[in-house]
Amino acid sequence: MKILSTAILSIIFLISCVNMDTVDTSATSLNNAVVRLHATEGNSVSGVVWFSKVVGGVKVRGTIEGLPPGDHGFHIHQFGDCSSTDGKSAGGHFNPEGVDHGAPTDEMRHVGDLGNIRANFDSVAVFEFVDVAITLAGGNSILSRAVIIHAGSDDLISQPTGAAGSRLACGVIGIANK
Ligand code: CU
Ligand code: ZN
């Protein structure tokens, strides 16, 4: 009897170990993503943006340096491809629903439309907000797609890109290590 209960306890312990490991891995991979931005040719923009799953959406927080003071269009673009020196290899705005460009607060918008970030007079943009359209899994997942920061501001109206101008930085969104 004692041997039997010891054996059962051992099995339960082993199963719980396996389960803990499984839960931990998937939680890490689905809850946090990160992108390091690299300057396109002729620019010196750099920074990191984190994406974290929260209740009601995805929290976006980042610090970007080397930006001209003012507003800069900030989008998720379709392809996780920053191989060209001008960032255009990332394609257009991530738009899985095939709708018009808009503001992050618009009901109809590209999933990738995150609006603008604002750089201060020290050329730094620090920001944190929650977006309701982007996700880290499923059809609106931003994993393996690109973040682009533009030279100009996104007017949130002009089609198909908000007239935000050239691309200052590009980075590919990946699964975060923490
Ligand atoms: Cu863009
Ligand atoms: Zn757009």
Model confidence pLDDT, tens digit, residues 135-169: 999 999 999 999 999 999 999 999 999 999 999 99
Q: Residues 72, 149: contact at Cβ < 8 Å?
A: yes
Residue 112 Cα to ligand 2 midpoint, Å, equals 6
Query: Is 36 one of the catalytic residues?
Result: no
Query: Is 38 one of the catalytic residues?
Result: no
Query: Is 72 one of the catalytic residues?
Result: no
Topology of domain 25-175 in CATH is Immunoglobulin-like (2.60.40)
Query: With 90 as the cut, is the pLDDT of residue 3 above it?
Result: no
Alpha carbon 31 to chain centroid, angstroms: 11
Burial class (CB in 10 A: 0-12, 13-18, 19+), 99: middle
149 token code pair: 């920061």
For the chain, domain boundaries = 25-175
Residue 15 Cα to ligand 1 midpoint, Å, equals 47
Query: With 50 as the cut, is the pLDDT of residue 36 above it?
Result: yes
Q: Percent of the chain beyond pLDDT 90?
A: 83
Give the model's pLDDT for residue 30.
Answer: 86
Question: E-strand spans in 6-156?
Answer: 32-39, 46-54, 57-65, 70-77, 113-119, 125-131, 146-150
- Among 71, 72, 109, 110, the one annotated catalytic: 110
Is the pTM higher than 0.85? The answer reads no
CA dist., res. 170 & res. 45, Å (int): 9
